[in-house]
Structure 1
């Protein structure tokens, strides 16, 4: 038996293609923002690569060598004055041109541009999602599909029905279950864990309906399924409300993202290779995209939002080698009144880069190990 068969089956050609396109676009726009802010301040950019690794194609345009490289994920820009410059004897020296001559604010602008681009892209996609799909209504349950031959079909439940109350109680916006806060629409799952008589109050095309049934979560030791696919109901939203909701949703997700990164670092330092539902490696990401591609275009938009926000927040972490770490070094130099020496900055960035590479390797290894 092929040990990779289990997770390889979860990947699809369309999913792999969409993974490359979504991550490629997020990375390309990230690097393009660095490029634009550097050129806007008169700093040259030696090269701009779409992809990593061996160069497949290259072309000179406006003083920059534009490249397409072999590995389709990732990319980079070589900005003048960011890397050491060899002297006449070939010895690397601290740069004195380009980026190195910018004031602290100019350097921060170049470094901040990439993560800010991903953040804005995520917000823009989220705004489009809310305008296209509508804003979620957490206290109403929309039945998206009914499984043929299921108990739900026998009870007369239909796609498009909206559950507004359960057992005579209106659904709340939020509920607390086992110490964890969930949205009101998710309480359907908790109700179906409880045996006995239940009643759904429905809104069917504007007409109220009631469905009463007796429920047993398990029969002869086997878990029973009602046979519905469901999610939060939605309502139409204009541009202003969609933008406002996108901003508030992004602010609300920041603590969750930071907690996920913190948990990742903890697992890394303890070499905990167990599966983490909050942070996925390349295989897990491709699986998620494959599932989204099979579901709907809106599901792909949701994945693109998640990946862009994750890329923005990760790059802003104050880890040397990442944009956030480089910004921190620039600010430290500004506070001191003089920048760090070339040797100090190189040593700090090298350690940070090595840490990030080891972290990425850990995520990839965990991705494989948890699927064997």
Structure 2
């Protein structure tokens, strides 16, 4: 059930993203020919008002198609309702609408959390820092740390509990690049001692592990609807900033951080784990993945909304359309890159699943 819940959330986020493009086009009277979830061969389809709604075989995203892209379309090339014949600002809105839809969804989810779960009011903490995930091949995995371990002390210094314990551990790791730290930890009730040597990332220690307070977050009833809105605004801004910072770090320190990039399999695994916990975790997971999807699609890369927006910007600067061959080559290279990267991440993440590791005898 946890996996199905995570898959349903991801599918919903894709639908919302593509619905943003779809409604931005139809609202402006622009012709749309298809709305697809997934890529490749069609598994299920339904025609309605000249639009093909389809579920496709490769579940790695989705797309909205336009008659402009169909060489066999019977619609005249000078039809004013074709996307290509609309002003730049109308086409820009269609392109940006997917990102906007995901950000609005994240805000709505956090609004729902504030309304039905409550406003965060602290943490019911127990001693230690919980390791919620470990990146294979990096310092944490090399030390023997595993997801579910609880770190209690570093070099004999008790960490205490709550968010302050996480912050203290992070600072200790950051300040010890290429230095060995002695961890006192607990795994399924058994005490253990581990030696952890953070990698040196431009003078800052990194270990490749996800850390969180050991315990559960406490919520209270909101005092007013205004407080719910303010909390949602704050959380969306914070999550967006952290997501953007993560992408910037990936670009500026690619060699050191590329191994931490996760694909669909890892995202589903994380969602399945949170679905079992229930409560507020699933709200936050949905909002975070929706914001990640928005920021990812805003990148100026082929096949992504940011890449199409960049082409539109170049067209505006040239004051005439870009050559079709150039646009086609740009988008096709992006498709190959996207599919290749997705395949690599799926293989990498699948190989790190606990069940696969057991089969391999690791």
Normalised to the residue count of structure 1, the TM-score between the two structures is 0.66
* Contact 1:280-1:367 within 8 A present in 2 as well: yes
Cα–Cα, structure 1 residues 345 and 95, in superposed 2: closer, same or farther, change >3 Å?
Answer: farther
1:75 aligned residue: 62
User: 1:182-261 maps to which residues of 2 (within 5 A)?
Assistant: 185-188=162-165, 222=192, 229-237=214-222, 238-261=224-247
CA RMSD of aligned residues (A): 3.6
Cα distance, 1:144 vs structure 2 = 8.6
Tell me, in whole angstroms, the C-alpha distance in 1 between the residues paired with 2:280 and 2:286. Answer: 10
2:26 aligned residue: 39
Cα distance, 1:125 vs structure 2 = 0.1
2:130 aligned residue: none
Q: Aligned to 1:76, what secondary structure does the other structure show?
A: strand
Count of matched residue pairs: 285
Tell me, in whole angstroms, the C-alpha distance in 2 between the residues paired with 1:49 and 1:87. Answer: 18
Tell me, in whole angstroms, the C-alpha distance in 2 between the residues paired with 1:55 and 1:78. Answer: 14
* Contact 2:6-2:275 within 8 A present in 1 as well: no
Tell me, in whole angstroms, the C-alpha distance in 2 between the residues paired with 1:294 and 1:314. Answer: 27
Q: Aligned to 2:33, what secondary structure does the other structure show?
A: strand
Cα–Cα, structure 1 residues 350 and 270, in superposed 2: closer, same or farther, change >3 Å?
Answer: farther
Cα–Cα, structure 1 residues 271 and 321, in superposed 2: closer, same or farther, change >3 Å?
Answer: farther
1:290 aligned residue: 272
Cα distance, 1:221 vs structure 2 = 7.1
Tell me, in whole angstroms, the C-alpha distance in 2 between the residues paired with 1:118 and 1:69. Answer: 21
* Contact 1:118-1:311 within 8 A present in 2 as well: yes
Tell me, in whole angstroms, the C-alpha distance in 2 between the residues paired with 1:310 and 1:363. Answer: 16
Cα distance, 1:355 vs structure 2 = 2.8
2:149 aligned residue: none
Tell me, in whole angstroms, the C-alpha distance in 2 between the residues paired with 1:329 and 1:255. Answer: 26
1:207 aligned residue: none
Cα–Cα, structure 1 residues 95 and 343, in superposed 2: closer, same or farther, change >3 Å?
Answer: farther
Out of 341, 347, 355, the residue aligned to residue 365 of structure 1 is 347
1:300 is aligned to 2:258:
no
Cα distance, 1:51 vs structure 2 = 3.6
Q: What 5-or-longer segments of structure 1 have no aligned partner?
A: 1-13, 89-93, 146-176, 178-183, 193-216
Residues 22-65 of structure 1, C-alpha deviations (whole Å, 9 max, x = no match): 11111112112211111222222212223433223322211112
Q: What 5-or-longer segments of structure 2 have no aligned partner?
A: 128-153, 155-160, 170-183, 194-212, 358-362
Considering only CA atoms, is the larger Rg found in Structure 1 or Structure 2?
1
1:24 is aligned to 2:11:
yes
The more displaced of 68-77 and 294-303 is 68-77
Tell me, in whole angstroms, the C-alpha distance in 2 between the residues paired with 1:352 and 1:70. Answer: 19
Tell me, in whole angstroms, the C-alpha distance in 2 between the residues paired with 1:78 and 1:101. Answer: 15
1:131 aligned residue: 115
Tell me, in whole angstroms, the C-alpha distance in 2 between the residues paired with 1:365 and 1:218. Answer: 31
Q: Aligned to 2:231, what secondary structure does the other structure show?
A: helix
Q: Aligned to 1:280, what secondary structure does the other structure show?
A: coil
